[in-house]
Structure 1
Amino acid sequence: MEKTHASFIEPIGEVKLHKSKWDMNKSLKKFQTMLESFFIKNGVLLLIVGFLLGRALILAKLTPFSLPFFASVYLIKKDRAPLALIGLIAGATTLSLSNAAFTFVITFSFLVIFRLSSKWISNEMRALPFYVGIILGLGKLAETFIFSKELTLYDAMMIGVQASLAFILTLIFLQSIPLLTFNKRRQLLKTEEIVCLIIMLASIMTGTIGWKVYDLSIEHIMSRYLVLIFSFIAGATVGSTVGVVTGLIFSLASVSSFYHMSLLAFSGVLGGLLKEGKKIGVSIGLFIATLLIGMYGEGSGSLKLTLMESAVAVLLFLLTPQILTSRLAKYIPGTPEHTAEQQKYMRKMRDVTAQRVSQFSNVFQALSKSFSQMDSEPFEDESQRELDFFMSYVTEKTCQTCFKKEQCWAKNFSKTYAYMEEIIHEMDQNNGNVSLRLGREWEKHCSRSKKVYETIGQELTFYQANQKLKKKVQESRRLVADQLMGVSEVMNNFAKEIQRERENYYKQEEQIMEAIQGFGIQIENVEIYSLEPGNIDIEISVPFCNGHGECEKLIAPMLSDILGETIVVKKEECAPYPNGFCHTVFRSSKAFTVETGVAHAAKDGGLISGDSHSTIELGFGKMALAISDGMGNGERAHYESTETLQLLQKILQSGIEETLAIKSVNSILSLRTTDEIFSTLDLAMIDLKNASAKFLKVGSTPSFIKRGKKIIKIQASNLPMGILQEFEVDVVSEQLKAGDLLIMMSDGVFEGPKHVENYDLWMKRKLLELETDDPQEVADLILEEVIRSKSDIIDDDMTVMVAKIKHNTPKWASIPIQKVKKRA
């Protein structure tokens, strides 16, 4: 009982724990939303940034940040420009009142000039940096003349430097301010945007120069904190970039901070290299850099102070919530968070695409059902209605003016109607003639019998033409319905394939690379696309091998042992120069291969044969062999048979099932022309994974399988293509084995031997007498034997196609690798 009670309490505890976590996450999200609303939506962040940039200095006296910041805010977020101006003036006031007055005057001048000239500006974004640089340069020039009464070369150079800085800072702020003002961002940060953001953050932090808390410099703490954040998020490359840029900005602001650039850059590199150790590893990197660079300071007191500043930066870094770093990492290329975000986006796009394809599949399926229902509707009422209309046309021209109309159609309606119906039926069936019995009875009943016969004959011509047209329309509907259903199935399968997410094989890729490199072969990169048994797909980049064949002789055999099945080189692109890389695709080897041989001859030794043959490579490890025989001989028969195979090949390669493909080809051929041009088709579909075969024969002669001393006959009964619109295709399945010979032939070969009563027995005997199993030799011998039996006369087109089923034996045996588990 206690055990039951305890097991009942545990789920309740888990539910409470999940509920408390959910409440905590909800509270944190609500708090985060409130902070974003306060700082970003209300513009408080721009006020704080403006205050710090208003008091930021370059070379201890230049203030180029105020006007570029205000101008960028004014252009990007005009409604928050007053807050930015208040912050700039407040920051400038902390330096001096004259500086605050200059900031206000120069900003007001910019507003007036920019507003007056805006009507002539076509691209404000491109013109803004020029406006800011020129206006700030003219303002500094006027300030120099007002206070100094003269312009020295040094003053002119400083004015030029400040104007140039204003121009560059405007370009930087235009890139980086949107990152601070828009809290909803979907695109990843470009490299230029990352650098601009770093410069802006470093410029903002220069506004804290001179601030100290217990002798600890605020700018040192914040700059190291910034390097820690970016090193932790993006690694050594971005971390060192942040350190160098931030240190450079600080060294421009204060020459005494020059050594600080080395400290920040070094800590960015070490922190990024140690990021695998999470926050602790990045923090250790900062402490190591502080100890090494701090030794160049001024004595032990300076080193102690520097270490304390680093300790405070580390404390702030450790207190930074994970949600903030994760959110920032989503927008920086190369981070795991960014990769996950991209995969999430790709999954969403994949699902949307699959859904659209599935919807199109449903549309095609609905259309197919609609056409099928139109054909399957009962036509009895329609036939009766057509018969009534037919009689009305006849009676209108014959009975309407007859004096016996009242007696025939009012008093004896049933008898007259039955006679007319029987006459129409007999004339339709007997080419306009009626039987003697019916003729005598009708002449007794009707006074205008000959006129009725003539009228019915005329109307029958139009009626029969109309019926043929309707039949063609129905056949066309059926063809469209079949095609739409086939397209629907293909699109539905395609939608399912899209939704199959590509698996991540990072672990397997590392294991394969480690195993191959441990064997002494250097490879650059391994990409696994599929590890499905029988459908393995791997791409490897290998250094230039100078044509020694390492991929085929070494790497493929090693992969065969690692993955537990035979792997072969499917495609290889060698490097064009010695220091490049060869890109090789490795695929699963099929269990069987097919070697083919073909022999053919045209009638009377001509150049154009009515027979056509084709070997079709299909996807999913399947192969098709086909022979088509056009009716008759010559160019027209050749055209018909070739067209049949081309249509079949395109439909099969699109993924439509083979039975439906043959029906579609038959429908196209029967509807394409009114001429009596037909063609046969002999199709064999072989699955190279297990050597199973399907035979589809449409009006073709039998095929034979030679297995040692045994001959297996493959036969099916179907009319040639194009005769009937709708027919069922007989599919014969047979399991082939290694060493089997498949012999397919046209009727010119099978029925060619003279003075032979039983073609089957003759062909089986000739096949058993063969002493070779080479496909080409077999095809040549059969064709030669048939021609010899006819006294060297070729009175019909002849085609023989022979295929030999063989086990697929690779050239190289697998090389055992003990360190990696099978199918890693």
Structure 2
Amino acid sequence: MIGNVGKKASAMANTIFYQYGLLVAIIGFLLGRAMILSELTPFVLPYLAAVYLLKRERAGIAALSLVAGALLSYHGQIVFVLAAIITFVLVQKVVTKFITKRTSFLPYTVFIASMMTRLGLVYAMEGLVTNYALMMATVEAGLSFILTMIFMQSVPLITAKKIQQPLKNEEIVCLIILLASVMTGTIGWMMYDMTIEHILARYLVLLFAFVGGAAIGSTVGVVTGLILSLASVASLYQMSLLAFAGLLGGLLKEGKRTGVALGLLVGTLLIGLYSEGSAEVSVTLMESMAAILIFFLTPKDLITRLARFIPGTVEHSKEQQQYVRKIRDLTAGRVEQFSTLFQTLSSSFQAFPQTANEEEDERETDYFLSNVTEKTCQTCFKKERCWVQNFSKTYDSMQKIMTETKEHGEIKNQMLLSEWKKLCIKPEKVIQTIASEHEYYQVNQKLKRQVLESRKLVADQLLGVSRVMGDFAKEIQKEKQAHHYQEEQMLDALRSVGLEIGHIDIYSLEKGNIEIEMSISADNGHGQSEKVIAPLLSDIVNETVVVKQEEPDFYPNGYSHVSFNSIKQFVVETGVAHVAKGGAWVSGDCYSTIELGSGKYAIAISDGMGNGERAHLESNETLQLLQKILQSGIEETIAIKSVNSVLSLRSTDEIFSTLDLAMIDLQDATTKFLKIGSIPSFIKRGSNVTKVEANNLPIGMLQEFDVDVVSEQLKAGDLLIMMSDGIYDAPKHVENKEMWMKRVINELKTDDPQEVADLLLEKIIRSEQGSINDDMTVIVAKVKRNTPKWAAIPLYKAPSFTRKKAQRAASFS
């Protein structure tokens, strides 16, 4: 109930202040009363000009409130205010007709109107314009010129119902100048010997010091005190008091409102005793206490809303994070929409349901027999007897002939042929027509199969893209968790041993997926990050951490940017040996070894059909396509199908490539083998050698094929030997090549990958008396436990590290 009343009251206040222009009228009234240097009113025209430019429908209210303020003020400048408003309107009408850039020219319009009005009034009252009057008119017009540019930035900040963007430092200063100018309109207002402008000025300093800290608080104090001292020379000491109070209050903001209030009291006592003496300090203290009372009565919601627009505040950071989160969620949502779109397109490209096959076959048979009868029976004089009196018998017989022709190419069933000759007077012509029509039928069926296969291939590719985009959307929605406490603890721990660390950002503390970034001082290439910092971090997080990337001189101060990640459980060491046919320069075999970003290691061999440059181009293009698709994150089987479709549709030449792909997971050493037209691979574990094979046609031969995936679990120390057919098929004198290759591999006494590859190639060439009858390539990969170069370095009194579940911050205890 109370909440509803509060919401209604807030809505009513917003309506009155913003929709009906009450706030514009209040500010105009106080600026109409404001005066500086005892005779100048430079606030009137800038405020009217800013409202006229930004909210023209409120210009009338602003003009009336300015006149009302001048009429009820102490300075007696009502004539100048009225004349200045009228002059500004006339000059603006003239400027509008001849100047297109009205916004840029507006300060000049204000300057001209102020100068003309002041000099005109002086001349009308005194009959001449003295040098002093000219100087003061110029000062007033110059201040009006400057205040116009300031008010153009600050008026929207207090007249707009909602501010969308955080304030810049210049906008904050402009806002303070406007508020301080408004306060000068309260000069002369007293309450129990307390000056209202002093109370409001100190309240303003308290508010901004509490929200923005020492820098903002002291800035507000200086600007507010300066404008108040210009309005009243007796308030000159207020600039020192407000600036000092803003600085102290900002420094003590960690003590909440009490700390900021204490800063104002200390500043009041020190400056008050120094400026006015002990006799007058009681009034100054009362003014400060009144400001503190208003400050404590200020709703927390108002302070929070103000803090959201001040850079550097916690509320501003949360607002920025919320904005970034909104943009991230919006981007992820759009990516998910595209993922859903591709999934829908994939479903639409799927083949028709199997239930419709029987109807489709019947329809195809009807079309086939219709074409046959059109060429034969339509001109026969006995067609009525065959197709009207004996329809079922004629149709069944022709269907049997069609089936017999389809299966055997001719009619081998003599009984069927005999019955047909009894039934039809032109049996040979009908049989020839069926055979001829059957060729077109087969071509049509082949085209239909190709269309269906293409549809299936496109569907698989679209589904693969959909999955990649879906995973990408999930990655986008992952945000950096707040690890402020852990970052501070880690920073203190590293600095305590003498390391110069700029800052630390912890992105993930998940087991096996730690991500830490930091800035460190340049070490002139001594490897400080790898040799010292990574081992120290490993001790802190109880997990081996290594340097992922280091960028020297990344920051303007010369510091380097270093990224640390959890170490992979396994590493792969490879060795390659290859030679072209006949010892030529160009080999038709191509190979690739690459560590993918997903924590997998890919080894591939492609053998183009034939030898030489053409085969090399084919196999190289196959691997290049495969590598790019795998790096995009698409699953291996879909990647191979995509490469196959590109190669099969690219050219009508019968140029094919084999592909032998092994994908090793570096976390658990599980390996997937995808063999497309390639020969077997071998795994050597100790004295045991096992064969890995799968049956698939070469890539590019068919548009649609099933990829046979073989999975194997590798262990540390295993050797994986992959080879092209030039190695496997080279020994012509060997009948059982599998057993021969196993024996050769088992007899090798070394486990160094490069030595194994070299010895295998040498053994094969020697077995053929030095002749190289085909391109030969062998890749040997050794799976090893990932042992870091540097052990963990224990820290003295290092903070113990604990990981907690999601939704709860992990902490150093």
Decide which of 663, 672, 690 is 2:641's aligned counterpart.
663
Secondary structure of 1:800's counterpart equals strand
Amino acid at match of 2:443: A
Distance 2:414 2:624 in 1: 54
Matches within 5 A, 1:258-657: 258-374=236-352, 376=354, 378-431=356-409, 439=417, 441-575=419-553, 580-657=558-635
Decide which of 149, 157, 170 is 2:148's aligned counterpart.
170
Distance 1:96 1:219 in 2: 15
Q: Could you say if the C-alpha distance between residues 41 and 56 of structure 1 is closer, same or farther in structure 2, counting changes exceeding 3 Å?
A: same
Q: Tell me the residue number matched to 2:28.
A: 50
Secondary structure of 1:374's counterpart equals coil
Q: Could you say if the C-alpha distance between residues 97 and 763 of structure 1 is closer, same or farther in structure 2, counting changes exceeding 3 Å?
A: closer
Unaligned residue ranges in structure 2 (runs of 5+): 803-811
Distance 2:324 2:76 in 1: 56
Distance 2:45 2:394 in 1: 107
Decide which of 211, 229, 233 is 1:251's aligned counterpart.
229
Q: Tell me the residue number matched to 2:70.
A: 92
* Aligned partners of 2:555 and 2:561 also within 8 Å: no
Q: Give the TM-score of the pair, scaled to structure 1.
A: 0.93
Amino acid at match of 1:619: G
Decide which of 736, 740, 745 is 1:758's aligned counterpart.
736
Give, in angstroms, the shift of residue 671 of structure 1.
Answer: 4.1
Unaligned residue ranges in structure 1 (runs of 5+): 1-22
Q: Could you say if the C-alpha distance between residues 416 and 39 of structure 1 is closer, same or farther in structure 2, counting changes exceeding 3 Å?
A: closer
Distance 1:432 1:236 in 2: 101
Give, in angstroms, the shift of residue 434 of structure 1.
Answer: 6.2
* Aligned partners of 1:40 and 1:180 also within 8 Å: no
Give, in angstroms, the shift of residue 726 of structure 1.
Answer: 4.2
Give, in angstroms, the shift of residue 433 of structure 1.
Answer: 7.1
Distance 2:444 2:695 in 1: 33
* Aligned partners of 1:610 and 1:638 also within 8 Å: yes
* Aligned partners of 1:546 and 1:578 also within 8 Å: no
Matches within 5 A, 1:787-802: 787-802=765-780
Cα deviation digits, residues 424-453 of structure 1 (max 9, x gap):
334444456766665555445433334334
Cα deviation digits, residues 216-244 of structure 1 (max 9, x gap):
22221111110110010111111111111
427-436 vs 613-622, greater mean Cα deviation: 427-436
Distance 1:616 1:546 in 2: 31
Give, in angstroms, the shift of residue 632 of structure 1.
Answer: 2.7
* Aligned partners of 1:225 and 1:314 also within 8 Å: yes
Amino acid at match of 1:796: D
Amino acid at match of 1:602: A
Decide which of 163, 186, 190 is 2:168's aligned counterpart.
190
Give, in angstroms, the shift of residue 687 of structure 1.
Answer: 1.2
* Aligned partners of 1:354 and 1:495 also within 8 Å: yes
Cα deviation digits, residues 28-64 of structure 1 (max 9, x gap):
3333333222223222222221121112112121111
Distance 1:378 1:649 in 2: 40
Q: Could you say if the C-alpha distance between residues 576 and 508 of structure 1 is closer, same or farther in structure 2, counting changes exceeding 3 Å?
A: closer
* Aligned partners of 2:656 and 2:700 also within 8 Å: yes
Q: Tell me the residue number matched to 2:52.
A: 74
Distance 2:183 2:560 in 1: 49
Distance 1:186 1:98 in 2: 40
Q: Tell me the residue number matched to 2:91.
A: 113
269-278 vs 484-493, greater mean Cα deviation: 484-493
Distance 1:633 1:214 in 2: 105
Decide which of 784, 795, 805 is 2:762's aligned counterpart.
784
Give, in angstroms, the shift of residue 421 of structure 1.
Answer: 2.4
Distance 2:402 2:648 in 1: 30
Give, in angstroms, the shift of residue 142 of structure 1.
Answer: 0.7
Matches within 5 A, 1:614-763: 614-763=592-741
Give, in angstroms, the shift of residue 275 of structure 1.
Answer: 0.7
Secondary structure of 1:697's counterpart equals strand
Distance 2:374 2:767 in 1: 68
Decide which of 42, 45, 63 is 1:64's aligned counterpart.
42
* Aligned partners of 2:333 and 2:473 also within 8 Å: yes
Give, in angstroms, the shift of residue 633 of structure 1.
Answer: 2.5
Secondary structure of 1:539's counterpart equals strand
95-104 vs 676-685, greater mean Cα deviation: 95-104
Secondary structure of 2:501's counterpart equals coil
Q: Tell me the residue number matched to 1:8.
A: none
Give, in angstroms, the shift of residue 387 of structure 1.
Answer: 2.0
Match status 1:819 vs 2:795: no
Q: Could you say if the C-alpha distance between residues 414 and 36 of structure 1 is closer, same or farther in structure 2, counting changes exceeding 3 Å?
A: closer
Distance 2:720 2:554 in 1: 43
Distance 1:529 1:422 in 2: 73
Q: Give the TM-score of the pair, scaled to structure 2.
A: 0.94
Q: Could you say if the C-alpha distance between residues 436 and 702 of structure 1 is closer, same or farther in structure 2, counting changes exceeding 3 Å?
A: same
Distance 1:247 1:803 in 2: 76
Match status 1:803 vs 2:781: yes
* Aligned partners of 1:754 and 1:789 also within 8 Å: no
Q: Could you say if the C-alpha distance between residues 121 and 375 of structure 1 is closer, same or farther in structure 2, counting changes exceeding 3 Å?
A: farther
Q: Could you say if the C-alpha distance between residues 319 and 89 of structure 1 is closer, same or farther in structure 2, counting changes exceeding 3 Å?
A: same
Cα deviation digits, residues 487-508 of structure 1 (max 9, x gap):
2222222222223332111111
Distance 2:629 2:180 in 1: 64
* Aligned partners of 1:57 and 1:63 also within 8 Å: yes
* Aligned partners of 2:70 and 2:81 also within 8 Å: yes
24-33 vs 357-366, greater mean Cα deviation: 24-33
Q: Tell me the residue number matched to 2:805.
A: none
687-696 vs 349-358, greater mean Cα deviation: 349-358
Matches within 5 A, 1:194-205: 194-205=172-183
Distance 1:71 1:679 in 2: 77
Give, in angstroms, the shift of residue 324 of structure 1.
Answer: 0.8
Q: Tell me the residue number matched to 2:118.
A: 140
Distance 1:283 1:342 in 2: 29
Amino acid at match of 1:808: N
Distance 1:731 1:408 in 2: 56
Distance 1:714 1:595 in 2: 20
577-586 vs 494-503, greater mean Cα deviation: 577-586
Q: Tell me the residue number matched to 2:203.
A: 225
Distance 2:614 2:402 in 1: 40
Amino acid at match of 1:779: A
Amino acid at match of 1:611: D
Distance 1:26 1:403 in 2: 95
Distance 2:654 2:417 in 1: 37
Q: Tell me the residue number matched to 1:240.
A: 218
Distance 1:445 1:795 in 2: 64
Match status 1:149 vs 2:154: no
Secondary structure of 1:372's counterpart equals coil
Give, in angstroms, the shift of residue 460 of structure 1.
Answer: 3.1
Distance 1:277 1:363 in 2: 54
Amino acid at match of 1:556: A
